[in-house]
Amino acid sequence: MPRPIDRRAALRGLGTAIALPWLEGMTPTRFSRTAAAMAVGGSSTPTRVAFLFVPNGVHAPDWLIPAGDDTTPGATVLPETLPSLLEPLARVRDHVTVHAGLAHGNARALGDGPGDHARSAACFLTGAHPRKTAGSDIHNGVSFDQVLADHWRGQARFDSLELGCEPAMTAGNCDSGYSCAYSANIAWRSPRTPVAKETNPRAVFERLFMAGPAGESAEARDRRLRRRRSILDAVRSDARRLSGDLGGRDREKLEEYLDGVRGLERRIEQVEGRAQDPTAWGLDELPAGVPGDYREHLELMGDLMGLAFRLDLTRVCTFMWANEGSNRAFPEVDVREGHHHLSHHAGDEAKIEAIRRINLWQAERFADLVARFGAIETGPDRTLLDETLLCFGGAISDGNRHNHDDLPVVVAGRGGGVESGRLVRHAAGTPLCDLFVGMGRAAGAPIERFGDSSGVAAL
C-alpha cells in the first residue's frame, strides 16, 4: 500500500529543491502557523494573488460595458454580448469578473501638471500620489502586494515575486519630470524603495528552484549549466525513490509534472540558443535568456508565475506586462508604430484601429493565461483558478484622455470563495483601493484600510 506523503515534501538534489504538485496520496500538514492562516480565510488552501499591469490605457468606448438605464451599483451575470475589446474573455467568462466605475484619484495631476503615465504606474498598487521629481528624492507609497507579503511573511519560500517584460529602471527622467522609477515599477517596499522586477525567465526559473548555491558567479553558473543538461538531473534519484511510494495515478501525475517542468526549462533553453530581436526593448542586444518575441516572453513569465503559485512558493506576485508609457511596437498584429505614440490618437481613425488591435491582443493573452491556470489541477475537482485571484488592468482608462476613472479592471479566479462570471458596477469614482481591500480580505488578510480606500468593494 502506498505510503502517505507530506504536502511539503520536495525532490532534492545538489543545489536544487523542487516542490511537488498536489498528489492524491498527500496527507494534511500538521497544524501550524500556515494552517492557522489558511483557517482564518475559511479555506483548506491558501489563496494566491497576482496583479497584472498593462500600460497606456485602452480605447475605452470599445471596453466599457454600457450601463443602459440601470446604473445602480451591484453585481449581475456577465452579459452574453461583450464590447469588442472584451470578446476574448468570452471563452473564460465563467472565470472572470469585469469591474466598472473604479478610479484612482491620486493618479491625477493634483497641481503637478503633466506626467499621467508615471503617476499611473506609481499609483496603481499604492493608491498614493508620487512626489514629482526626476532626482533621487523619489517618494511614493507602499504597494498592496507588499502589504500582503508582510501578512504572509515566512509562509512560503518567497514573500513576493516581481516579474516584468521590459527593463527595470530606478533613475532618469521618463515622464515630464517624473523619475523612471515611477514608470517602471508597480511594487514598492517602502515609499522610497521600489522592488526591482525580474525580466529574465532563466533567472526566475533558477530562483524558484534554487538551482545553484547562493552568491554563485556568472562563470560558475555557466560551468554548472554546461555540466548538466537539466535541473531535473539533480533530483532524478529522489524522483525515482518517491515514485516507488506512489500509487499508479500519482505516478502518472508526478511524471506529467516533471515533464512540464522540463518543457518549461526547454523553452527557456531554446530562447537562449537563438538570436533575439532587441528592437522592442530599445537595446543593441538583449540580455541572455530574454525572448525577443513578446508573446513568448509573456507566456514564459506567466507560466513561471503559475508554477510558483501551484507549488506554493509564493502567495503574491506582480507582473508588469510593459512599463508605463511603453512605446513598444506590436508586429504580432501588424502595428509598427509605438504603443504610447498611438495612444495619443487625437481621433485619428487609423491610430484608433491600431490601438484596438493592441488592446484586443492584450485581452487575448490574458484569456490564454486564465485558461492555462484553469487547466492546472491542485486537488480533487480543483484547479489553480479556485485558489487564485488575478487582477488585470492599469490606472489609465482612455489612453488618449489620460483619465483615471472608469479604469479597465478584470479579476479572474475564485480564490477565497469569490464568485466569478459577473459584471460588478461600483458607484462612480469608487477607489480602486477598495477593490484591493476586498481582495485581501477574501485571501484571508484582515486589512481595514489601504491607500485612499473608503470601504470594501464588492468582488
Report pLDDT digits (tens) over 312-329. Answer: 899 999 999 999 999 999
pLDDT band at 69 (very low <50, low <70, confident <90, very high): low
pLDDT band at 29 (very low <50, low <70, confident <90, very high): very low
pLDDT tens for each residue of 43-53: 458 999 999 99
What is residue 42's predicted lDDT score, i.e. its pLDDT?
38
- Does the structure show a pLDDT above 60 at 40? no
Longest dimension (CA), the chain: 71
Q: What is the dotted CATH code of the domain comprising 46-199+313-442?
A: 3.40.720
pLDDT band at 282 (very low <50, low <70, confident <90, very high): low
Mean pLDDT of 120-131: 98
**Which residue ranges does the chain devote to CATH 3.40.720?**
46-199+313-442
- Does the structure show a pLDDT above 90 at 5? no
pLDDT band at 383 (very low <50, low <70, confident <90, very high): very high
Task: List the grid coordinates of 399.
Answer: 489612453
- Does the structure show a pLDDT above 60 at 227? no
Q: Which of 125, 79, 92, 76 is nearest to 385 (CA)?
A: 92
- Does the structure show a pLDDT above 50 at 418? yes
**Secondary structure of 255-303 in HEC code, one letter for each residue:** HHHHHHHHHHHHHHHHHHCCCCCCHHHCCCCCCCCCCCCHHHHHHHHHH
Distance separating alpha carbons of residues 273 and 317, to the nearest angstrom: 28
Most confident of the ranges 11-15, 65-69, 71-75, 323-327: 323-327
For residues 78, 51, 132, 118, the Cα torsion angle rounded to the nearest 10 degrees is -70
pLDDT band at 251 (very low <50, low <70, confident <90, very high): confident
More confident residue, 458 or 14: 458
What is residue 254's predicted lDDT score, i.e. its pLDDT?
83
What is residue 121's predicted lDDT score, i.e. its pLDDT?
98
What is residue 287's predicted lDDT score, i.e. its pLDDT?
64
Residue 323, judged by CB atoms within 10 A of its CB (0-12, 13-18, 19+), counts as buried
- Does the structure show a pLDDT above 90 at 10? no
Contact in structure between 117 and 399 (CB atoms under 8 Å): no
What is residue 244's predicted lDDT score, i.e. its pLDDT?
76
Task: Count Cα atoms within 13 angstroms, Cβ side, for 295.
Answer: 12
- Does the structure show a pLDDT above 90 at 296? yes
Residues with Cβ within 8 Å of 412's Cβ and at least 6 positions away in sequence, in order, are: 92, 95, 96, 97, 366, 370, 373, 385, 388, 389, 390, 392, 420
What is residue 142's predicted lDDT score, i.e. its pLDDT?
98
| High-pLDDT (> 90) share of the chain, % | 66
Return the bridge partners of 75, or none: 424
**Which DSSP state fits 241?**
H
Q: Which of 151, 135, 141 is nearest to 185 (CA)?
A: 141
Distance separating alpha carbons of residues 55 and 223, to the nearest angstrom: 39
* Amino acid, res. 355: I
Average pLDDT of the chain to the nearest whole number:
87
The whole-model pTM stands at 0.88
Q: End-to-end distance of the chain based on CA atoms, in angstroms?
A: 45
Helical (H) or strand (E) element with 427:
strand 422-431
Distance separating alpha carbons of residues 139 and 179, to the nearest angstrom: 10
What is residue 122's predicted lDDT score, i.e. its pLDDT?
98
What is residue 31's predicted lDDT score, i.e. its pLDDT?
33
Distance separating alpha carbons of residues 115 and 131, to the nearest angstrom: 11
More confident residue, 284 or 200: 200
